Amino acid sequence: MRILSILSPILLATLFATASGCSSVEPWVKPYERDNLADPVMSLSRHGKADSYMNHVYQARESARGAEGGSGGGCGCN
Amino acid sequence: MAATDGNRFVLSALLLIVLLLSGHQAQAATLPVDNVDVLYHRYDGGGMVIDGPSVLVRKSIGSQFSLSGQYYVDSVSAASVDVLATASPYKEERNEYTFGIDYLHDKSILSLGFTNSTENDYEANTVYFSLSQEFFGGMSTVTMGYASGWDEVGRVGNDSFSEEADRRNYQLGLSQVVTRNSLVGLDLEVVTDEGFLQNPYRQNRYLDPNDSTAFLYQPERYPETRTSTSVAARALYYLPYRASIRAEYRYFSDTWGINAHTIELGYVHGLNEHWTLEGSIRYYTQGEADFYSDLFPFENSQTHLARDKELSSLSGTTLAAGAVYEWKQTSLPGIDRLQFSLLVDWLNFDYDNFRDVTAAGDYLPGEEPLYSFDALVTRASLILEY
């Protein structure tokens, strides 16, 4: 972790420099080609609160927590 | 020290994203659609039955704000192995309220919210903030989140017992369109806790010094800090017919010495315009905390002591199935879209070094059968968009 904190500023500077040069990147999947992606079968959080409920079920029975995807905000529970 | 380095790394990453975003023309973002999300949930297994409703209402105010409120209930009836070993079955209820506001500004969405959760012996408060933005022509979505929580831990039957626990979450997520049929997602989350982190009711056991065929109980004693890091990758692919496959992997590690892996595979199949069926399989495995033991050799044999089964070495498998009915452009007055889902999950947990002291029969301490249980989770969800 110490190496990461030393490297972070260098990484930041490099990526910032790179980023400012690639503002002309064109989307390679055009908006009119996204009908499959817009189909609900391609959603990671289609069931709304029913999906975040399962994270709560697992957090109460497993030590792992976090990076569940979807909207964050913490569980607000124990 | 680990917490400080973890925080610094995540803050650096967040700063990096802000810098990246500032260099790009963003696409127009959209606020979440106005909707009512009603859920009934039920968990039944391992001596626990937990059920209740959840109702969320979301309404936009003008074109820039969207307000949401959620009420959630857990009605608990508990007679789990931990409870039966050292206490009596009990019933309790947890009520949770969440209020949120989303603000669309300059092609970004800023979200702010507050959650309060109360039960007779525990109160949890969380404020959260997140920033989400699309860029590269809507091909990429980056979300950064921060949450801060402060909890008050009580103990039924002991009014003078009052402890506190604080928590901070740092989240970073990327969702990326790869081809016209595939998406990937990457998520990083660091969580730090400080304060009273153990369950005040649970106890651990040690060999009785006067009788090697018996054991005695002593209170749990956890460290007062914990920092965990999770990294997850997800991929979703649209098949040549109307169906998708999904794969997810998550790695978890914390300063208590626990490492965990989660793997999940899912399939969603479109039957017709209205109906879809889905199924998934999930496997989870974790190692034990450094200070965990099913049976300590003698009283206060080490600084930190835990026999909470969630800190032991365990594995879990979930098999899930569901059916979804979707009706777009409904003829119902005022309703644009309706979605009803019925989802059933079967969970099984096997413990590698947590023994069942409630098992019938005469066993020497440390020779009881290993504990395992299964549970059925049922969810019925109705989402109405208006």
pLDDT tens string B322-356: 999 999 988 889 999 999 999 999 999 999 999 99
Non-local (6+) Cβ contacts of B362 within 8 A are: none
pLDDT score recorded for residue B20: 47
By C-alpha distance, the chain A residue nearest B25 is A23
DSSP state, residue B193: E
pLDDT of B271 over the 80 cut: yes
- Every domain of chain A and the residues it spans: 23-62
Phi, psi of B167 (to 5 degrees): -145, 140
Pick from A14, A24, A45, A49 the residue to mutate for testing the B interface (most B CBs within 10 Å): A49
Contact residues on chain B for A8, CB-CB shorter than 8 A: 8-9, 12-13, 16
pLDDT score recorded for residue B23: 43
Q: At B374, which helix (H) or strand (E)?
A: strand B370-385
Burial of B256 (0-12, 13-18, 19+ CB in 10 A): buried
pLDDT score recorded for residue B6: 53
A31 touching chain B per CB within 8 A: yes
Q: How confident is the model at residue B137 (pLDDT cuts 50, 70, 90)?
A: confident
| Contact map slice: A 46-75 vs B, CB within 8 A | 46-50, 53-54, 57-58, 60-69, 71-75
Q: How do residues B26-72 score in pLDDT, each as one tens digit? A: 345 789 999 999 999 999 999 999 999 999 999 999 999 999 999 99
pLDDT of B83 over the 90 cut: no
- The answer to whether B111 contacts A71, with C-beta atoms less than 8 Å apart, is yes
pLDDT score recorded for residue B207: 97
Burial of B84 (0-12, 13-18, 19+ CB in 10 A): middle
pLDDT of A22 over the 70 cut: no
Q: How confident is the model at residue B104 (pLDDT cuts 50, 70, 90)?
A: very high
Q: What ipTM goes with this model?
A: 0.91
Q: How do residues B200-238 score in pLDDT, each as one tens digit? A: 999 999 999 999 999 999 999 999 999 999 999 999 999
Partner-chain residue, chosen from A37, A50, A76, that has the shortest CB–CB distance to B343: A50
pTM for the whole structure: 0.88
* Alpha helices for chain B (secondary structure H): 2-22, 81-86
Q: Cα(B7)–Cα(B201) distance, rounded to whole angstroms?
A: 31
- In our burial notation (b when 16+ CB lie closer than 10 A, e otherwise), range B149-158 reads bebbbbeeee
pLDDT of B242 over the 60 cut: yes
- The answer to whether A28 contacts B173, with C-beta atoms less than 8 Å apart, is no
pLDDT score recorded for residue B12: 59
Non-local (6+) Cβ contacts of B217 within 8 A are: B86, B203, B204, B205
- The answer to whether A49 contacts B96, with C-beta atoms less than 8 Å apart, is no
Question: Encoding tokens for residue A27?
Answer: 């989307």
Non-local (6+) Cβ contacts of B106 within 8 A are: none
CA distance B300 to chain A (A): 24
Q: What is the mean pLDDT of chain B?
A: 92
A34 touching chain B per CB within 8 A: yes
pLDDT of A23 over the 70 cut: no
- The answer to whether A29 contacts B111, with C-beta atoms less than 8 Å apart, is no
Q: Which of B5-19, B111-125, B294-308 has the lowest mean pLDDT?
A: B5-19
pLDDT score recorded for residue B18: 46
Q: Is residue A52 helix, strand or coil? A: helix
Summarize the confidence of residues B134-154 as an average pLDDT: 92
Q: How do residues B183-193 score in pLDDT, each as one tens digit? A: 999 999 999 99
pLDDT score recorded for residue B86: 86
Summarize the confidence of residues B249-256 as an average pLDDT: 98
